[in-house]
């Protein structure tokens, strides 16, 4: 079943449960933090941007997980095979970071000692990302400023319940944003040119259960000059109403049904070739990993075991009208994450 939400509705009812589970192609359900009935300790809100051109990438995160806040900067160099991630934490933000209740407009700021991450969005159609960190990796300071524009008309929006009252996952993925800007680190400047640099926004709000394992994959780029990409994944609650699998082509979204991640070696050989298969034959891909951004935090009650694997996709995807998009060595990523949070 793929139930589409077609009109603007309140996201939550008077009990703090979803009014309607399903997917949308625009941010139609209206999120208001005050409607949540769960403890502020369990509310999770985040903004995550990834900018990638296939040679290098920049990832920026600001989140408020109730009892813990996390800001993160990652710089990845695929040609040289290295990545650096630095993720300062703060305790008990409990909503004080005031992340916007919509992705359409509003600024997001994460800051602490020797760093700041700022996402500016005034609704004009240009998103500006600015990040600076004095103690980033062994070579010291990093500075980045990137502008994102040409936002597509449609995106992936999902409202998914968990099997527990008052718990839900509300998420938007905006793929195929054009990117222009620079990152300076270790005496080098990494330039994002809008001709080949694309970004995705992962905008998440919700009340999560304690233990989760999810799979997520994303890619944004161009095929014969036309913006093309996808969002695939599962493990984000009860997806019986709809999956979050979707293709994007020339600004329009094309809904997929179920997509399976086939990770080799009993899901442990992350740098061996993967495959992706779909129940309707509309997404069939081989994936050649290049770099595994792996991290594992295990501190008693809090655990996060992450493998975000960047690489190259080769295969085919089929749009709603039957048009076949064939790609070869298309840059993107796929991940497996287990959290106890």
Alpha-carbon distance of 107 to 114, in angstroms, equals 20
Q: How confident is the model at residue 169 (pLDDT cuts 50, 70, 90)?
A: very high
Share of the chain above pLDDT 70, in %: 99
Q: Is 1 inside any structural domain? A: no
Q: What would the pLDDT profile of 7-59 be if each residue is shown by its tens digit?
A: 999 999 999 999 999 999 999 999 999 999 999 999 999 999 999 999 999 99
Q: Is 278 inside any structural domain? A: yes
The pLDDT, as a whole number, for residue 268 is 82
pLDDT value at 124 more than 90: yes
Q: What would the pLDDT profile of 105-119 be if each residue is shown by its tens digit?
A: 999 999 999 999 999
Stretch 165-177: mean pLDDT: 98
The pLDDT, as a whole number, for residue 72 is 97
Share of the chain above pLDDT 90, in %: 93
Q: How confident is the model at residue 78 (pLDDT cuts 50, 70, 90)?
A: very high
Q: What would the pLDDT profile of 52-66 be if each residue is shown by its tens digit?
A: 999 999 999 999 999
Q: Is 3 inside any structural domain? A: no
The pLDDT, as a whole number, for residue 88 is 94
Q: Is 36 inside any structural domain? A: yes
Alpha-carbon distance of 229 to 216, in angstroms, equals 14
Stretch 90-94: mean pLDDT: 94
Q: How confident is the model at residue 206 (pLDDT cuts 50, 70, 90)?
A: very high
Q: Is 2 inside any structural domain? A: no
Environment class of residue 34 by beta-carbon count within 10 Å: exposed (0-12), middle (13-18) or buried (19+)? exposed
Q: Is 297 inside any structural domain? A: yes
The pLDDT, as a whole number, for residue 122 is 98
Stretch 136-165: mean pLDDT: 97
Q: Is 88 inside any structural domain? A: yes
Which of 49, 84, 89 shows the shortest CA–CA distance to 69?
89
The pLDDT, as a whole number, for residue 317 is 98
- Report whether 306 contacts 270 (CB < 8 A): no
Q: What would the pLDDT profile of 278-317 be if each residue is shown by its tens digit?
A: 999 999 999 999 999 998 877 667 788 899 999 999 999 9
Q: How confident is the model at residue 79 (pLDDT cuts 50, 70, 90)?
A: very high
Task: Give the CA distances from residue 332 to residues 108, 130, 323, in Å, rounded to whole numbers and listed in that order.
Answer: 25, 23, 21
Q: Is 56 inside any structural domain? A: yes
Which residues span the domain enclosing 322?
Answer: 9-340
Task: Give the CA distances from residue 169 to residues 124, 164, 222, 231, 235, in Å, rounded to whole numbers and listed in that order.
Answer: 28, 12, 30, 16, 11
pLDDT value at 249 more than 80: yes
Total count of domains within the chain: 1
The pLDDT, as a whole number, for residue 97 is 96
Contacts of 209 (CB under 8 A, 6+ apart): 162, 163, 164, 167
pLDDT value at 149 more than 90: yes
Mean pLDDT of the chain: 96
């Amino acid at each position: 079943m793929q139930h589409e939400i077609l009109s603007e509705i309140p996201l939550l009812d008077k009990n703090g449960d979803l009014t309607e589970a399903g997917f949308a192609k625009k941010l139609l359900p209206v999120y208001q933090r005050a409607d949540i009935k769960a403890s502020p300790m369990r509310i999770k809100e985040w903004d995550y941007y990834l900018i990638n051109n296939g040679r290098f990438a920049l990832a920026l995160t600001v989140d408020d997980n109730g009892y813990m806040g996390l800001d993160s900067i990652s710089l990845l160099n695929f040609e040289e095979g290295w990545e650096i991630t630095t993720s300062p934490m703060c305790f008990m933000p409990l909503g004080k970071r005031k992340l916007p209740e919509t992705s359409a407009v509003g600024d997001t700021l994460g800051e602490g000692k020797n760093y700041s991450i700022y996402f500016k969005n005034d609704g004009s159609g240009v998103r500006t990302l600015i990040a600076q960190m004095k103690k980033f990796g062994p070579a010291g300071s990093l500075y980045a400023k990137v502008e994102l524009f040409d936002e597509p008309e449609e995106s992936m929006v999902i409202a998914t319940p968990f099997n527990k009252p008052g718990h839900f996952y509300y998420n938007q993925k905006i793929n195929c944003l054009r990117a222009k800007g620079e990152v300076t680190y270790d005496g080098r400047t990494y330039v994002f040119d809008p001709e080949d640099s694309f970004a995705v926004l992962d905008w998440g709000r919700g009340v999560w259960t304690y233990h989760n394992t999810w799979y997520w994959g994303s890619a944004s780029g161009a095929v014969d000059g036309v913006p093309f990409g996808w969002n695939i994944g599962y493990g984000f609650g009860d997806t019986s109403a709809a999956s979050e699998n979707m293709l994007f082509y020339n600004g329009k979204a094309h809904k997929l049904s179920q997509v399976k991640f086939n990770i080799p070696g009993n899901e442990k050989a992350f740098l061996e070739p993967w495959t992706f298969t779909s129940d309707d034959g509309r997404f069939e891909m081989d994936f050649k990993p290049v770099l595994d951004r792996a991290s594992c935090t295990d501190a008693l009650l809090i655990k996060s075991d992450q493998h975000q694997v960047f690489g190259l996709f080769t295969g085919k995807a089929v749009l709603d009208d039957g048009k076949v998009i064939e790609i070869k060595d298309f840059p993107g990523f796929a991940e497996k994450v287990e959290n106890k949070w």
